[in-house]
Amino acid sequence: MKSLYSAHPGEFVVGDYIQRAFENVHLWIPSKDDGIDFLVTDANNKRTVSLQVKYSRDYSETNDSEFKSQLKATGWWKLSRDKIAKSRADYWVFVLKGFEMKAADFILISPLELLQRLERIHAAGNTIQSYLWVTRKRRCWESRGLTRQDRLEIAEDRYSDVDRDFSQYLNNWGCVKAINEE
């Protein structure tokens, strides 16, 4: 008999958040890891949303001091283009839990949108290294490969780049909220 699937820290944070924030949904955990970490259903188990969770420790301690005071959390992920393209999850959830912060931030994005954005930002190749930064002004940016000046502008809330701006996905639990309200 194979061992049962066990949650990693990011999955625990996401599961705990969903259970506390949405009282009219059921949260299901698969018995094996097949690319979907959670299945969220409405109270009648008729409508579903599937989630793939990605977690990173906070990297704000490694950032330059002029950035650190303006950043709430930073994360680093090594992603496979193939895995994103073949993902069966409705949404990928990136968990950013800042070193000093008690509350986590979440980026919820469909795999198709994630792949399209990352392909516009990063060069070809199957592996994508992505840095997501959440600022204290509630903005989210993909910062991998940016110049020092660009990173400073993000920290000071002066940066602008449509492809790198992930703010619309920051804590956007609309997919779960929609089934919670039914």
Calpha distance 162→12 (Å, rounded):
31
More confident residue, 3 or 35: 35
pLDDT at 76: 93
How confident is the model over 81-108, as a mean pLDDT?
Answer: 91
* Strand pairing category for 91-96 and 48-56: parallel
pLDDT confidence tier of residue 65, bands split at 50, 70 and 90: low
Please give the structure tokens belonging to residue 70.
């303006």
Q: Which of 33, 31, 51 is nearest to 41 (CA)?
A: 51
Share of the chain above pLDDT 70, in %: 89
What confidence tens digit (pLDDT) does each residue in 118-134 have? 999 998 889 999 999 99
How confident is the model over 88-108, as a mean pLDDT?
Answer: 89
> Which single residue is written with the structure tokens 């703010």?
167
pLDDT confidence tier of residue 99, bands split at 50, 70 and 90: low
DSSP state, residue 47? S
DSSP string, 74-134: EEEEEEEHHHHHH---SEEEEEE--SS-SS-EEEEE-HHHHHHHHHHHS-SSSEEEEEEEE
More confident residue, 98 or 140: 140
Range from 1-10, 25-34, 128-137 carrying the lowest mean pLDDT: 1-10
Phi-psi region of 157 (alpha: psi -120 to 50; beta: other; left: phi over 0): left
Every domain of the chain and the residues it spans = 9-180
